[in-house]
Structure 1
Amino acid sequence: MSGEQYVRRNLERPEMLRLLALMAAESSAPDHRAHEWFRDRYERTIGLLAVAVRRDQDEGRISNARDPRASPGPWRPCGTGSSSSGSSIRDATSSRR
């Protein structure tokens, strides 16, 4: 499943996103039964995103100025201040409102 397909599927099922967010928040306490699972899921997700960011850096779609595993911040395509594709997750979510 592509990233775009994943986002679109999640936009079609907002109740599942709410459930995931609620469970993640509840499991933030270290003694919660799901704490380790959510922590591991977060680490896997960051790893996958870092690979994708590095690929986009290597292909020149986004700046190489940042380490992909560093703290999150604004990511911008090379030489521009906006999305190179003309669309974004924000665009997709605003159209659902």
Structure 2
Amino acid sequence: MVGALDIVIIDAGIKDGVETGDVLNIYKQGALVKDPIKPRKMVKLPNEINGELMVFRTFNRLSYAIVMKAHSDLRVGEELKSPYAGN
């Protein structure tokens, strides 16, 4: 698990359009809950912002970043998106 001020490696780099100084939101997977209308059916809630990181070194296919904010523990595989991209 990862928290604030930890250094992470992300699987996106220069060839993916990532640049030094880019800030990305970290999204955790939405929970799977019982549908209140149809109790036998499960519904996936939307992904939620769980933190923020900033890229400080880029390579062709990976980058190093520092986690600036973490609302809870971060895990491998969480989704990254630009805060300016449409959800």
Bin the TM-score by the shorter chain.
Answer: under 0.3
Higher helix share: 1
TM-score when scaled to structure 2? Answer: 0.21
Q: TM-score of the superposition, structure 1-length normalised?
A: 0.19
When you count strand as a share of all residues, which structure comes out higher?
2
